[in-house]
Amino acid sequence: MGTHRGSRIIHHQRETRLSYYKRHVFFCCNQREPPEACCNNRGATEMQAYAKQRIKELGLSGKGRIRINKAGCMDRCDEGPVVVVYPDAVWYTYVDRHDIDEIIDSHVVHGRVVERLKI
């Protein structure tokens, strides 16, 4: 019994470490010089800030919840702008705030992948 309980605690600690955030979202905000394609020329920094603000307004920021980060180039420039949601490792592209809202409301909050925006 004691051993069983001990292993459950270790298991729990490992899960906690792997899941510091429930979902961790990375927006590529890299800027490259024209004519190279880059996410930042397609509104990435503005959309990252918008997403971060929305998560904050929803009261979902912080440990065990949701984190919205900027990232450097993720080498999918021609498919951009790109955003990736971990731990699910699902990649999206987006055009506007409507797309960001859908990614947040469907996937980031409820875990439902937005097929139409997947890359």
Task: List residues binding ligand FES (CB under 6 A).
Answer: 28, 30, 32, 38-39, 73-77, 80, 82
Contact 79, 117 (CB under 8 A): no
For ligand FES, give the closer residue by CB, 6 or 72.
Answer: 72
For ligand FES, give the closer residue by CB, 13 or 69.
Answer: 69
Give the shortest CB-38-to-ligand FES separation in angstroms. 4
Q: Which residues touch 3 (CB under 8 Å, ≥6 apart)?
A: none
Give the shortest CB-87-to-ligand FES separation in angstroms. 20
Q: How far apart are the C-alpha atoms of 19 and 25, rounded to whole Å?
A: 13
SS3 96: coil
For ligand FES, give the closer residue by CB, 28 or 117.
Answer: 28
Give the shortest CB-31-to-ligand FES separation in angstroms. 8
For ligand FES, give the closer residue by CB, 55 or 77.
Answer: 77
Q: How far apart are the C-alpha atoms of 103 and 4, rounded to whole Å?
A: 40
Give the shortest CB-76-to-ligand FES separation in angstroms. 5
Compute the 3-state secondary structure of the chain and give helix, strand, coil in percent, each to the nearest 5.
Answer: 45, 20, 35
H or E stretch covering 51: helix 44-57
